[in-house]
A and B are shown apart, each in its own frame.
Chain A
Amino acid sequence: MLYDLIIIGAGPAGITAAVYAARKRMDFVVITNDIGGQTAWSGDIENYTGYQFVTGPDLVNKFEEHMKKFDVSVREGEQVADIKKKGGDIIVKTDKGEYEARAVIIASGKISRQLGVPGEKEFKNKGLTYCATCDAPLFSGKDVAIIGGGNSALDAALQLIKIARQVYIINIASQMGGDAVMREKVTANGKVKVLNNAQVTAISGDKMVTAIKIKQEGKEREIPVEGIFVEIGLSPNSGFAKVVETNEQGEIKVNCRNQTNVPGIFAAGDVTDVPEKQIIIAAGEGSKAALSAFKYLSHKR
Chain B
Amino acid sequence: MAKTVTVYSTPTCPFCIRAKQFLKDNNIQFKDIDVSENHEKAQEMIAKTGQMGVPVLDIDGDIVVGFDKERIKTALGI
Contact = CB atoms under 8 A, between A and B. Distances in A.
Chain A bound to chain B: yes
A135 B69 contact: no
Contact of B70 (A43, A76, A135): A76
A104 B15 CA distance: 28
Contact of B53 (A36, A125, A133, A140): A125
A134 B12 contact: yes
Given A76-B69, A77-B68, A207-B50, A137 B14 contact: no
Interface residues of B, number: 24
A138 interface: yes
Contacts of A77: 68-70
A114 to B, nearest CB: 16
Contacts of A73: none
A57 B14 contact: yes
Contacts of B18: 36, 40, 57, 60-61
Contacts of B35: 137-138
Contact of B14 (A40, A76, A208): A40
A138 B50 contact: no
A138 B10 contact: yes
Contact of A138 (B52, B68, B70): B52
B42 A138 contact: yes
Interface of B: 10-18, 21, 35-36, 39, 42, 46, 50-54, 65, 68-70
20 contacts: A42-B14, A43-B12, A57-B17, A60-B18, A76-B69, A77-B68, A125-B65, A126-B51, A127-B52, A133-B14, A134-B13, A134-B53, A136-B10, A137-B12, A137-B36, A138-B35, A138-B36, A138-B42, A138-B52, A140-B39
Interface of A: 36, 40-43, 55-57, 60-61, 76-77, 125-127, 129, 131, 133-138, 140, 207-208
